[in-house]
Amino acid sequence: GAGVSQSPSNKVTEKGKDVELRCDPISGHTALYWYRQSLGQGLEFLIYFQGNSAPDKSGLPSDRFSAERTGGSVSTLTIQRTQQEDSAVYLCASSLGLLNSPLHFGNGTRLTVT
Amino acid sequence: GESVGLHLPTLSVQEGDNSIINCAYSNSASDYFIWYKQESGKGPQFIIDIRSNMDKRQGQRVTVLLNKTVKHLSLQIAATQPGDSAVYFCAEFTPYGQNFVFGPGTRLSVLP
């Protein structure tokens, strides 16, 4: 079966440009998470969507970062006016949203800001 | 043995030996824990999970131990193979935040 799909797999952009990263979760999964992973580091929580509830945006590092989830399925993470410190792998994960449901990750988008 | 690298602690083991990877979690209210394996260029892959009402759970070649008294989680891999070389993360689910918090990771290196 299809897992979590992220696109693009790699993105190189110039400082100051906006970028959009896309995530297609596993069909039927109501919960969707975005994490950021810098080189050789752990996973930093960014934002969480659960069904139709308001998203938990507590992990977004600045107001340049935003995310949407349309129709309870596909999600887009947008970074405006990118900075070099935004360079990282952006990981999306989904889960059934039930108690004790594990996260299933995509392979991430590697973002490089030059 | 273990050593601290530039970014991640590293555990080096001989092929065929057992590996033990440790994790200290932060929140005594966390009630669900997962171990993930991450290979280069890929997303984290689920290995095994455990609920807080258990102290041990076994899978295929892997065992997770949970000690809630000292907030400690460990992953044991039996008969470690070259394909086990990866970075391993523990994750705790925090009910109040409704999200998973990940540990810093441990790099497992399997020596021939």
| Closest residue on chain B to A38 (Cα) | B7
A 10 A CB-CB count for B83 gives 9
Contact B99 A33 (CB under 8 A): yes
Q: If you average pLDDT over residues A75-97, what whole number do you get?
A: 96
DSSP3 helix / strand / coil % (chain B, rounded to 5): 5, 55, 40
Q: State how far the alpha carbon of B88 is from the alpha carbons of A26, B10, B18, B58, B85, in Å.
A: 23, 10, 15, 17, 9
pLDDT(B60) > 70: yes
| Closest residue on chain A to B32 (Cα) | A100
More confident residue, B72 or B3: B72
Question: In the prediction, which pLDDT does B3 show?
Answer: 35
Mean pLDDT of chain A: 94
Question: In the prediction, which pLDDT does A48 show?
Answer: 92
Q: If you average pLDDT over residues A3-29, what whole number do you get?
A: 97
Written as one string, the DSSP assignment of B27-47 is: -TT--EEEEEEE-TTS--EEE
Provide the percentage of residues in chain B whose pLDDT is more than 70: 93
For B98, the closest of A48, A103, A105 (CB atoms) is A48
| Closest residue on chain A to B37 (Cα) | A105
Pairwise CA distance, residues A59 & A44, whole Å: 8
Minimum distance, in Å, between the CA of residue B112 and any CA atom of chain A: 24
| B7 pLDDT tier (thresholds 50, 70, 90) | low
| B67 pLDDT tier (thresholds 50, 70, 90) | very high
Tokens of A67: 């995310």
More confident residue, A71 or A88: A88
- Mutation test of the interface with chain B: which of A26, A36, A43, choosing the one with the most B Cβ atoms within 10 A? A43
* B88 close to A (CB below 8 A): no
Digit-coded pLDDT (tens) for B77-108: 999 999 999 999 999 998 776 789 999 999 99
Question: In the prediction, which pLDDT does A91 show?
Answer: 98
* B34 close to A (CB below 8 A): yes
A35 contacts in B (CB within 8 Å)? 102
CA–centroid distance for A41 within its chain? 16
